[in-house]
Amino acid sequence: MHGKQLEETEEDFARTFREEEYIKPGKLFIYTRKPDMQDKGLIMFYHGRQKAGVNEVREYYNLTRVAGVDTVIIIWGTQKPSSFAQQAIKDLNQDNGRIWVEQFLESRLEFNVMEHELVPPHTKLTPEEKEKVLASYRLKENDLPKIQETDPVACYLGLRVGDVVKIVRKSESAGRHTTYRITIPCVKK
């Protein structure tokens, strides 16, 4: 936030971002960049309560491209985007290795899944750690148990297809049990 924004009153904020009782689509966004890595960063857009289509997805994507960052996060209000918009996001992620688009429904962000008592600690492995695990257990990627990229924990950790996560569970007999899962694309039923 800039100094001017910090001095803003609630009424000024409402005039800038609100439309009736909702936040205006595309008006509220956060932009950040890793200081030591100029090609790494993200923009987060809050879309609001209106249903979104392909045009909004492309607009957010183009704004991200102009900003020169590698990740865009779109938070949808109460309505999921159209099926065409969801397909556009899927196509962008498959066709383009440079910018990754993630999407969340606002209601899914109201609860931190990692703080639930039944969710054991999960840690995303680096590519080097992944290769070390595969070599030490003499496994191929397809031998590992799977976790879908749409799993709430996978979304929380920002896992992409091919990423491996380490899961440490409590065990009555062993004290703790470590397992690894590889991220796979969403399997439609």
Kindly report the pTM of this predicted structure.
Answer: 0.69
Give the mean model confidence (pLDDT) for residues 142-162.
Answer: 91
Same-fold call for 3-109 versus 113-184: no
- pLDDT, tens digit, for every residue of 129-138? 999 999 999 9
CATH architecture assigned to 3-109: 3-Layer(aba) Sandwich (3.40)
DSSP assignment string, 47-58: EESS---HHHHH
Query: Which of 3.90.1150.10, 3.90.940.20, 3.20.20.140, 3.90.550.10 is the CATH number of 113-184?
Result: 3.90.940.20
Cβ neighbour number for residue 170 with a 10 Å cutoff = 10
- pLDDT, tens digit, for every residue of 40-88? 777 888 877 677 788 888 888 777 777 777 888 888 877 888 888 888 8
Residue that is written with structure tokens 């990754």 in the block: 100
